Amino acid sequence: MLQATARANSPIFQANMTLKCAFPNGNVAIEAFGIITAVYIDSMNAPYCLHYAPDNASLVIRLALEEMGVPYDTALVDRRRDAQNSATYRTLNPNGLIPVLETPQGPIFETAAILLWLADTHSQLAPALHSPDRAAFLKWLFFASNTLHADLRILFYADKYIDGAQAEVLRAGIRPRLRQHLRVLDAEAKKAPGWLHSDQPSVLTYYLACQMRWMALYPARSDRSWYQLADTPHLQKILMLLESRPATRAAIAAEGLGVTPFTSPTYATPQEGSAT
């Protein structure tokens, strides 16, 4: 067996991004040009690896990383093959959910946990620990995660929560809750705190923008008329700002999100992987 050391950004890895990040740093065996080779993966140049599927919750993390200007690698989680439930992926997230961000401190799952960790680690896109805005930011970040996102999951994956025949009934019950969540968030946005403002992005504004995108699009074969962006004008202004950011353009290119991914979204047409 050959021994080699390769940097994460070397051509051999550029040729197979999925393989590169499917393993943590260390010795792995790869097949290249028909030869099984032992390689030491050294990803010092990109300290993070984002396990993603197009237009999944990993999009929020991609946007935050792009906005922070932090280098990262990506590993596609192939949802068509249910890769999020593979034994390998479950070593990163035993819950089988996307995203996972591999970091020097180990893999992190849960979107809000990753966002908070990145914001604190890089001192960007959120009020700092001793800022007078910190408490308010935290309570709304947690609301976005454990209430809004949790309710959205019920809308998107109703048949994981109830017998399939009852799924539409459950969806009908959850929509008024989602509308109420949007109302309170819009009222907060009207006060224009720095972390929910139409002049500057934050990890929370990217998180909300993605969730609002998904409300407009999913589930594809279910009523979506209940969601109207114009009902939340203060959030709408924030979404418009985010669409003008280079970070959003980078995510559009990477995941095939269309030109107005937040204010007038269309279904993703990714070059690689499935958006479902």
- List contacts with ligand GSH (CB under 6 A): 56-57, 84, 96-98, 110-111, 145, 149, 153, 157
| Residue 10 CB, nearest approach to ligand GSH (Å) | 31
Q: Which is nearer to ligand GSH, 40 or 142 (CB)?
A: 142
| Residue 202 CB, nearest approach to ligand GSH (Å) | 17
Give the list of residues 6+ apart from residue 79 with CB closer than 8 angstroms, or none: 53, 56, 98, 273, 274, 276
| Residue 21 CB, nearest approach to ligand GSH (Å) | 17
Measured in residues, the chain has a length of: 276
**Residue written as token pair 């019950």:** 173
| Residue 230 CB, nearest approach to ligand GSH (Å) | 25
Q: Which is nearer to ligand GSH, 96 or 194 (CB)?
A: 96
| Residue 113 CB, nearest approach to ligand GSH (Å) | 8
Q: Which is nearer to ligand GSH, 56 or 236 (CB)?
A: 56
Pairing of β 48-52 and β 35-42: unpaired
Q: Which is nearer to ligand GSH, 12 or 217 (CB)?
A: 217
Chain centroid to CA 160: 21
Can you state the angle between helices 246-255 and 58-68, rounded to 10 degrees?
Answer: 140
- H or E segment and range at residue 230: none
| Residue 165 CB, nearest approach to ligand GSH (Å) | 20
Q: Which is nearer to ligand GSH, 8 or 257 (CB)?
A: 257
**Cα torsion angle, 113, 119, 125, 128, sign:** positive
Q: Which is nearer to ligand GSH, 41 or 53 (CB)?
A: 53
- H or E segment and range at residue 235: helix 233-243
* Short-list 52, 109, 50, 60, CA closest to 208: 60
Can you state the angle between helices 203-217 and 167-190, rounded to 10 degrees?
Answer: 140
Neighbours of 164 (CB within 10 A): 9
